[in-house]
Amino acid sequence: MDYVYFRYNLPLWEQYFNKVYIALTQGLQPDLSQWIVNCPGYKNVKWVRPPKSDGKNDWRNLAVRDMLLNFSKAPYVLFLEQDFLVKDNLSLRK
């Protein structure tokens, strides 16, 4: 699923982040991942395909663990879901 408001804001927020990773969950139908990867607004994003859930583990948990263990080396990490709406840049600075 793609949230246009999130995609619109992402370039405005880049100044607050060293790197931006987005996990593409697997197994969703229809698979919109190719369309989302090519959308404007995601040019500086590093795309991650976490392990597919076996049905016993939550896909969010798998995605977060995969990114923490295999990609991010930062001392601080912020996780957002696309439907988490940020009012303005001041909210990110707090």
What pairing do the DSSP bridges indicate for beta strands 20-23 and 45-48?
parallel
User: What one-character DSSP code corresponds to residue 38?
Assistant: T
Could you give the CA distance from residue 53 to residue 25 in angstroms, rounded to a whole number?
Answer: 9
- The model's pTM is 0.73
The confidence band for 86, taking pLDDT boundaries of 50, 70 and 90, is confident
Mind listing the pLDDT tens digit for each residue in 31-69? 777 878 887 777 788 888 878 777 888 888 888 888 888
